[in-house]
Amino acid sequence: MTGAAFAERLIGAGFDLFAGVPCSLVEGVIAALERHPGLPYIAAVREDVAVGVAGGAWLAGRRPAVVMQNSGLGTSLNALASFSLMYGLPALCVVTWRGHRGQDAPEHRLMGEITPGLLDLLGIPYRVLAPDGIDDAIAWAGRELSVTHGPVALVVPPKLFSDHGAEASGDARPEARPRPVSPYAAPTLTPKISRMTAIAAAMKALGDELVVCANGYPSREACAVADRPQNFYMIGSMGLAGPIGLGVALGRPDRRTVVFDGDGNVLMSLGALANVAALAPPNFIHCVFDNEVYGSTGNQVSPSRYARLDAIAAAAGYRTVAAVDDAAAVTAPLRRMLASDGPHFLLVKVTAAEANVPRIPHAPAALRDRFRAAVSR
Ligand SMILES: Cc1ncc(C[n+]2csc(CCOP(=O)(O)OP(=O)(O)O)c2C)c(N)n1
């Protein structure tokens, strides 16, 4: 079977949003997905970002699949453990098996040896694809995904697809849409309001919009300000608020998705800003509460004290970027952003003050279900 035929089988089985990082073992699969009209294949910057996008897309009613090399299984361990598996978010993971039987370059050998063990440890059901059992395995994965809440993997050994190692067929990218990057001069800001005050000001601008909140105090404070089913609180999976919000925004292009992020979170998946800018979902608003510290873990200094995240977002290609430092200045630009096409980026410099608010009182599965129901309305 060719990789292209495998991609067709997955699409035929109902998978309707793909995200991944390439591996040569599936180059034919990815080439077919990239070219497929009307199908998003998101070239994620990291595999854990792909897992985040897939989870967001599932919450928004899609049937996502992630394509990754087994080295990327290592990259996504925390995303799988503290996001997909913890909340119970179905996603098909197509995982290539480099280092299979020790026959590979040195960097693949250990991961090749432990790939099945890693999936077993995580409790992710999987099948290793064999040439004469591909259709059965796809059907099995579909059944598993409908009964288990969580990821299911199909493992791709070397030389499974007949187009692996075929002569590259040239640059198959869709025609680039030139998007001019607007010049942006980051204003001087002085933190003077707390993140809780800023979150309350941001909430004032919201109606029925979907909100994805970064883990730690951004989630806790948002929950304390206005707990609502349209809020998805990350409990773990640090760094994935943007990717999860991106998945939600792509899954429901008719709804606005707002991400309440922290500077440490943004910096952890900085490349995801390029994913947002490249896909340019008009319904995506990224609101970053930048206290210049890792507040949730005791105020350790974060690099955002020196690296301006608004300037980085502008350079990445967000459609509009603004930066503010007082509460009155949060609500108005957010309202404008909600009323116009994005992706938008709003940096709010805040103090390191933390409100005395409790942990998220809802169980992960309850958060998942109420958010998914709110998205589907
Ligand atoms: C992968 C990972 N590393 C470290 C942590 C511990 N941790 C939880 S919240 C947090 C700080 C988040 O910083 P930021 O996004 O700036 O938000 P703040 O708490 O400052 O509002 C850290 C380091 C974690 N949850 N996951």
Q: pLDDT, tens digit, for every residue of 74-101? A: 999 999 999 999 999 999 999 999 999 9
CA of residue 151 to ligand 1 center, whole Å: 24
In this structure, how many other beta carbons lie within 10 angstroms of the beta carbon of residue 139?
12
Ligand 1 centre to CA of 294 (Å) is 6
Tokens of 377: 């309305």
**102 neighbors 115 (Cβ within 8 angstroms):** no
This prediction's pTM: 0.97
Alpha helix (H) residue ranges in 254-327: 263-268, 272-279, 309-316
| 322 CA → ligand 1 middle, Å | 24
Range of the domain at 147: 3-156
Ligand 1 atom closest to Cα of 216? 9
Tell me how far the alpha carbon of residue 210 lies from the centroid of ligand 1, in angstroms.
22
Is 239 in contact with 269 (CB distance < 8 Å)? yes
Task: CATH number of the domain at 339, please.
Answer: 3.40.50.970
Pocket of ligand 1 (CB under 6 A): 78, 195, 214-218, 236, 238, 262-265, 291, 293-297, 302
**Dihedrals phi, psi of 128, to nearest 5 degrees:** -90, 125
Which protein residue's CA is at the shortest distance from atom 1 of ligand 1? 238
Cα(226)–Cα(10) distance, rounded to whole angstroms?
Answer: 40
Distance 236 CA to ligand 1 centre (A): 9
Position 165 scores a pLDDT of 62
Total structural domains within the chain:
2
86 Cα–ligand 1 center, Å: 18
Among candidate residues 50, 139, 150, 143, the one with its CA nearest the CA of residue 90 = 150
DSSP-derived 3-state class of residue 272: helix
Structure tokens at 50: 């792909």
- Are 315 and 278 a contacting pair, CB within 8 Å? no
For residue 193, how far is its CA from the centre of ligand 1 (angstroms)? 20
> What pLDDT score does 143 carry?
97
pLDDT of residue 327: 86
Query: Are residues 257 and 200 part of one domain?
Result: yes
Q: Quick one: which of 274, 271, 273, 265 has its CA closest to 303?
A: 265
pLDDT of residue 90: 98
217 and 328 housed in the same domain:
yes
**Probe ligand 1: pick from 213, 293, 296, 302, max atoms within 8 Å of CB?**
296
Of 140, 156, 172, the residue at which a domain comes to its end is 156
| Residue among 277, 259, 173 at smallest CA distance from 210 | 259
Q: How far is CA 293 from CA 105, 174, 282, 325, 347, in A?
A: 40, 40, 30, 16, 14
Report pLDDT for 173.
55
Residue 183 lies in a domain: no
User: pLDDT of 365-374, one tens digit each?
Assistant: 999 999 999 9
Query: How far is the C-alpha of 255 from the C-alpha of 249, rounded, in Å?
Result: 7
Residues with Cβ < 8 Å from 14, sequence gap 6 or more? 63, 142
CA distances to 7, 42, 48, 178, 241 from 312, rounded to whole Å, are: 35, 21, 21, 19, 17
For ligand 1, atom 16, the nearest C-alpha belongs to 264
Do 227 and 367 reside in the same domain of the chain? yes
Conformation bin of residue 99: beta by default, left when phi > 0, alpha when psi is -120 to 50: left
What is the reported pLDDT for 328? 86
Q: Which of 212, 240, 265 to mutate to test ligand 1, by most ligand atoms within 8 A of the CB atom? A: 265
How far is the C-alpha of 36 from the C-alpha of 45, rounded, in Å?
Answer: 20
Write the residue with the smallest CA distance to atom 6 of ligand 1.
297
147 shares its domain with 31:
yes
Residues 64 and 121 in one domain: yes
Residue 183: per-residue pLDDT: 85
Query: Do both 213 and 98 map to the same domain?
Result: no
Residues of the chain with pLDDT under 50: none
Atom of ligand 1 nearest to the CA of 299: 20
Angle, CA 271 vertex, CA 54 and CA 277 arms, to 5°: 80
Tell me the Cα Rg of the chain: 21
Instruction: State the distance from the centre of ligand 1 to the C-alpha of 215, rounded, in angstroms.
Output: 7
Domain assignment present for 178: no
- Same domain? For 124 and 229 the reply is no
- The answer to whether residue 288 is domain-embedded is yes
How do 293-294 and 300-301 pair as beta strands? antiparallel
Q: Examine residue 180 and state whether it is found in any structural domain, yes or no.
A: no
Token duo for residue 146: 């409908």
pLDDT at residue number 38: 80
Buried/exposed code over 275-300 (b: 16+ C-beta within 10 A; e: otherwise): bbbebebebbbbbbbbbbbbbbeeee
Cα separation, 241 vs 215, in Å, equals: 8
**The pLDDT of residue 172:** 56
